[in-house]
Structure 1
Amino acid sequence: MSITAINQQLLRAIGVGIAIVREKNLRFLFCNEAFTDWFGTPERGTTLPDVLNDIDMDAVHAALEQDGRYTGELAVKIKRRTLVIALTISRAAAEAHDFYVVECQNITRIRELESMIDSYSAMVERNTRELEREKERVERLLLNLMPRSVYEEFKTFGVVTPQLYDSVSVVMLDFVEFTRFAAEHDPTVTLGELNDIFTAFDRIAEQFGCERIKTIGDAYLAVAGMPEPSPDHMRAVANCAVRFIRYLERRNQSHQYKWEARIGLGTGSAVGSVVGIQKYVYDVFGSAVNLAARLQEFANPMCVVAPDSMKEFLVEEFQLADLGKQDIRSFGEMRLMKVSPGIELARKASQF
């Protein structure tokens, strides 16, 4: 086998087509088998533009004049398949400079791989965005179930250590005749009303540093002094309570459905922790929670009842009315008081 035949076989094996054309008239002088496999065998007198009819020859001449080299791509349809051919035309490294060397390489597989990589990258990017959105949704959901500091602990360690808080305050609200309202109205109406009211309660609670722990049907429970300690936790829950009442009063003036609530305040110790393994919920329990629930039962509609032990912390800002001693289940005899806005507080509460 001659050296020329070996060279052509090698060029064909690596998928490179070679042709040589005259510089003046662009007629073919030589082409190897790989070239003819893609473009056919040029007949005598055939020029390069005749074979590569999809190439802009003006652009070819401009590139050769400027850089002595032209590079581009063209598509060749062979039977049912379209090949992508990388094309390079350059002046021959000879003294006469009277011919061009045309190099062609099949890059179809490379383009297919690039297309696959682009598609895979787009899919990964799309899935990443979806995962980020899902992560944000899960985070928002968990932040609705537990305070942020508890969520951060849960996210970092996978568990939440139960913690005892020695001094916290609780506000517990329950609507009057909610069961009758729910039975007489469409469920969408009931849920819409509760969603509207509880959303307003959440804004009020957040303003005064309280953390809404949960809602159970028509019951609303919020705490102050946990998980972040606060020396003003008693005033915080009292501020929330009187503004809850003020909000309902103003809402009743302009809405079709009228709502009344009883509110109890409690203070003391409480334990906070995530309860459950598969279905997570952050809950608090202890004497402060139990006391708020008990005192709510002693409250008249649109009234706030608190234990007398909170008196010294509330007397400067609120109007306090003695309700006498009452026998509180699990707590024994206890003096209670009704909490109402003070003069200055009443003026501020009118803003809600």
Structure 2
Amino acid sequence: MGNTILIVDDSELDLKLISTVIRNNEPFRTIITANNGEEACRQAVRHQPDLVILDWEMPDIDGLEVLRILKKNELTKDLPVILMSGVSFTDKIKEAFSVGAADFIPKPIHPEELQARAEAVLTNYANFKSLKDHANQLTLANLKNERILKSILPLPILMQIKEYGSIPPKRYKDCVAIFVDMVDFTTKTGKMSPGVLLRELHELFTGFDKVIDEHFCTRIKTVGDAYIAVCGMFYTPGNIEIEAASAAVKIRDYIIERNKNSEIKWELKIGLYNGDIIGSSVSPSNLNFDIFGETVNMASRFQAMCEPMQINVSESLSKPLSEAYKLVTRVPKKVKGKGVMPMYYIHKPLKEIEKKEAVLIPAPSMQ
């Protein structure tokens, strides 16, 4: 089996006897010996044996105290220990098992009994390690899966999947959809290496994520160079429209500041539109969360009809935003399916915007 076994006894004669018995059935076992409790603790930490055979009656630190020390140490707490004693007191045997002994053997040692008990403990410990390794692998796999899911799903939706096992469709009322698109993305990236392109997108979207989180919004997804977020789906800040606009302005500011020190200069267009949004996964076999409805379509169109480095908002948003932002009235434009619509650019804040707390909306139920 190739196990490592630590034998602890202050008698050299007993050490040799026990070592011979233990090797009798399996000559390839590694035997480590110690003749006092302090050395036993050091050897246990260093070698992590599969079994400790420990004499109870030793000077300075007796076997029971060594057992206590091993069980308190994170590195040795799971090691199986067989205690040996020439004094068979029932109350002490109970105490040994209560501290964590795997078995007890009386002295003088009977070779057949020692072999049988040692083999049983080794087998149990091998099974324990196998189960522990399997549990650790499952834990690591779950953590890895959760990290992957967190990267593609909003946190409230991930919480919902854990609780209900699905993503039921829901209509989220009074939200603001935020669409961000990089200007001339295809032209600029045509000569970039894949590594540079991915690095740029990673840095940009990480910066956007930070802003979005600060304003109680939720990133829904990225599609190529497009970044899509929503305010008001999972959090209820004091003023959803103001928070969404503040997030859009700070994303623009982030790009302006980044361009000062970056070789690659970017421009963007941002569209905001408010209204109801339907959120769900596309199919039972696809956990990707997505958003649908007129509000989403209109935010996309407002972004497309925006000039570089501008934030285009609807008339319904202009009213709540006019108290906090200077807006520029645009020439009304024809929007597919809606006719001619008023549009406004967010120019700059009129005053310092008061930061309010937000409440997490409970996981959605089927509606």
User: TM-score scaled to structure 2, two decimals?
Assistant: 0.67
User: What residue is the counterpart of 1:120 in the other structure?
Assistant: 127
Fraction of identical pairs, as percent:
26
Find the counterpart in structure 2 of residue 253 from structure 1. Answer: 260
**One-letter code aligned to 1:76:** V
CA contact (8 A) 2:201 2:225 kept: yes
Alignment match of 1:76 (pick from 1, 5, 21):
21
Distance in 2 of aligned mates of 1:176 and 1:133 = 41
**Could you tell me which residue of structure 1 aligns to residue 242 of structure 2?**
235
Do the aligned partners of residues 120 and 326 (structure 1) sit closer, same or farther apart at CA in structure 2, a change above 3 Å counting?
same
Aligned-residue offset at 1:342 = 1.6
Alignment RMSD (CA, Å): 3.1
Greater alpha carbon shift after TM alignment, 143-152 vs 312-321: 143-152
CA contact (8 A) 1:295 1:305 kept: yes
Q: Secondary structure at the match of 1:203?
A: helix
The one-letter code of the counterpart of 2:157 is V
Give, in whole Å, the separation in 2 of the partners of 1:201 and 1:78. 65
Mapped to 2, the partners of 1:292 and 1:323 lie a distance apart of 16
Unaligned stretches of 5+ in structure 2?
Answer: 1-10, 30-52, 54-81, 88-106, 356-367
**Contact map agreement 2:279 2:290 (CA 8 A) in 1:** yes
Name the residue aligned to 1:163. 170
The alignment status of 1:108 with 2:119, answered yes or no, reads no
Query: Equivalents in 1 of 2:331, 2:293: separation in Å?
Result: 25
Amino acid at match of 2:226: A
Q: Relative to structure 1, is the Cα distance of residues 119 and 322 closer, same or farther in structure 2, using a 3 angstrom cutoff?
A: same
Report the Cα distance in structure 2 between the residues aligned to 1:108 and 1:296, rounded to whole angstroms. 78
Per-residue CA distance 1:49-100 (angstroms, 9 max, x = gap): xxx983379xxxxxxxxxxxxxx9452388775599998768xxxxxxxxxx
**For residues 11-50 of structure 1, what are the structure 2 equivalents within 5 Å?**
none
Deviations 1:248-286 (A, max 9, x none): 011000011111101111111110112233331000111
For 1:173 and 1:256, locate their aligned partners in 2 and report how far apart those are by CA, in whole Å: 21
Equivalent position amino acid for 1:219 in 2: A
Distance 1:257 1:241 in 2: 21
Q: Which residue of 2 aligns with 1:54?
A: 13
Q: Find the partner of 1:173 among 171, 174, 180.
A: 180
Query: How far apart, in 2, do the equivalents of 1:172 and 1:265 lie?
Result: 7
Q: Distance between the aligned counterparts of 2:109 and 2:24, measured in 1?
A: 22
Give the counterpart letter for 2:21 in structure 1: V
Residues 147 and 227, structure 1, Cα contact 8 Å, conserved in 2:
no
Greater strand share, 1 or 2?
1
- Counterpart pick for 1:275 among 282, 297, 308: 282
Partner of 1:225: 232
- Residue 235 of structure 1 and its aligned partner are, at CA, apart by 1.3
**1:332 to 2:277 alignment:** no
CA distance in structure 1 between the partners assigned to 2:85 and 2:349 by the alignment: 89
The separation in 2 between residues aligned to 1:223 and 1:266, in whole angstroms, is 10
Residues 56 and 202 from structure 1, CA distance in 2 versus in 1: closer, same or farther, beyond 3 angstroms? closer
User: Which residue in the other structure is 1:63 paired with?
Assistant: none
CA–CA distance in 1 between the matches of 2:208 and 2:171?
Answer: 26
| CA distance in structure 2 between the aligned counterparts of 1:78 and 1:131, rounded to whole angstroms | 36
State whether residues 252 and 259 of structure 1, in contact with CA within 8 Å, keep that contact through their aligned partners in structure 2: yes
Q: Which amino acid aligns with 1:341?
A: K
Match of residue 43 from structure 1? none
Paired letter, 2:347: S
Measure the CA separation in 2 of the matches of 1:196 and 1:87: 63
**Aligned counterparts of 1:322 and 1:244: Cα–Cα separation in 2:** 21
Query: 1:87 touches 1:105 (CA, 8 Å); kept in 2?
Result: no
Name 2:150's counterpart in structure 1. Answer: 143
Are 2:323 and 2:350, in contact at CA under 8 Å, matched by a contact in 1? no
Give the aligned residue type for 1:244.
I
How many residues get paired?
273
**Structure 2 counterpart SS, 1:121:** helix
Which ranges in structure 1 are unaligned for 5 or more consecutive residues? Answer: 1-51, 58-71, 91-100
In structure 2, relative to structure 1, the CA distance for the partners of 1:115 and 1:264 (3 Å cut) is: same
Q: Distance in 1 between matches of 2:132 and 2:195?
A: 39
**Bigger Rg, structure 1 or 2:** 1
Over 3 Å counting, the alpha-carbon distance change for 1:180 and 1:268 in structure 2 is same
Amino acid at match of 1:317: A
Q: What amino acid sits opposite 2:242 in the alignment?
A: R
Encode CA deviations 1:226-262: one digit per residue, 9 max, x unaligned. Answer: 0344552211211111111110011000011111101
Deviating more after overlay: 328-337 vs 273-282: 273-282
| 1:120 to 1:81, Cα distance in 2 relative to 1, 3 A | closer
Equivalent position SS for 1:280: strand
* 2:144 counterpart of 1:132: no
